[in-house]
Amino acid sequence: MDVSHRKRTLLKVIVLGDSGVGKTSLMNQYVYRKFSLQYKATIGADFVTKEIQVDDKLVTLQIWDTAGQERFHSLGAAFYRGADCCVLVYDVNIHKTFDTLNNWHDEFLKQGDMNDPEAFPFVLLGNKVDVDGGNSRRVTEKKARDWCASRGNIPYFETSAKEGYNVEEAFLCVAKIALENEHEQDIYFRGISDAVSEAEQQRSGCAC
């Protein structure tokens, strides 16, 4: 295939989870490699972007953050519209942030208005694994993985936005499964172009 004809892919990723779990910090670590212990409830932009290469494809990730509205569950339809992947985040040291994952998951599926909710890609991040050397941890990895299995095999990463641990890996997975989801929507068109090129080959006769 001619590379110049390939479209650059824009993927919309939204990050959900309770206030304070580290959503903004994870994004800042991923996009700017920066971390601050200072708590900033509001940020200026609705989203940040990062360009990455996934296999042979250039992908622009557009990652949507909240400006603290998650506290009131009032994110609005524009936030959810057209999402290609939803990243759920909880704090491994605060059990309540794990319990509310069900609400965030359900709310996303309700608001997102996607064609096939069951096939929609999520990724779960258990953040702040660095805190107290793991001694103040309240949610085990097994518990988190069981939840992921019960919700249709959601990929799971344990992360630290502070140390930059697993952040890159997690977002690469986000990009990959968002791309896969996109392929499923395109399958009909790919089917046609495959059929056409086969017909062309037959017309031109045997290549040997």
Binding-site ranges for ligand GDP (CB under 6 A):
19-25, 36-37, 39, 127-128, 130-131, 160-162
Amino acid at position 170, single letter: A
Q: Which of 12, 18, 21, 24 binds Mg ion (CB under 5 A)?
A: 24
Distance of alpha carbon 18 from alpha carbon 193, whole angstroms = 45
Pick the closer one to ligand GDP by CB: 20 or 155. Answer: 20
Query: Which residue has its beta carbon closest to ligand GDP?
Result: 22
Smallest distance from ligand GDP to CB 137, Å = 12
Residue 69 binds which entry of Mg ion, ligand GDP, none, with Cβ cut-offs from 5 to 8 Å by kind? none
Distance of alpha carbon 86 from alpha carbon 63, whole angstroms = 10
Positive or negative CA dihedral for 12, 50, 173, 73?
negative
Smallest distance from Mg ion to CB 91, Å = 13
Identify which of 60, 149, 130 has the alpha carbon closest to the alpha carbon of residue 92: 130
Smallest distance from Mg ion to CB 141, Å = 24
Check residue 159 for interaction with Mg ion (CB under 5 A): no
CA distances 89 to 26, 54, 170, 171, 186, Å, are 9, 23, 11, 12, 29
Identify which of 159, 176, 150 has the alpha carbon closest to the alpha carbon of residue 59: 176
Pick the closer one to ligand GDP by CB: 91 or 114. Answer: 91
Taking phi over 0 as left and psi of -120 to 50 as alpha, with beta for the rest, 172 belongs to alpha
Pick the closer one to ligand GDP by CB: 94 or 114. Answer: 94
Smallest distance from ligand GDP to CB 153, Å = 25
Distance of alpha carbon 190 from alpha carbon 172, whole angstroms = 24
Segment contacting Mg ion by CB under 5 A, of 20-28, 151-159, 171-179, 181-189: 20-28
The β-bridge partners of 13 are: 63, 85
Residue 128 binds which entry of ligand GDP, Mg ion, none, with Cβ cut-offs from 5 to 8 Å by kind? ligand GDP
Smallest distance from ligand GDP to CB 84, Å = 21
Q: Binding residues for Mg ion, per CB under 5 A?
A: 23-24
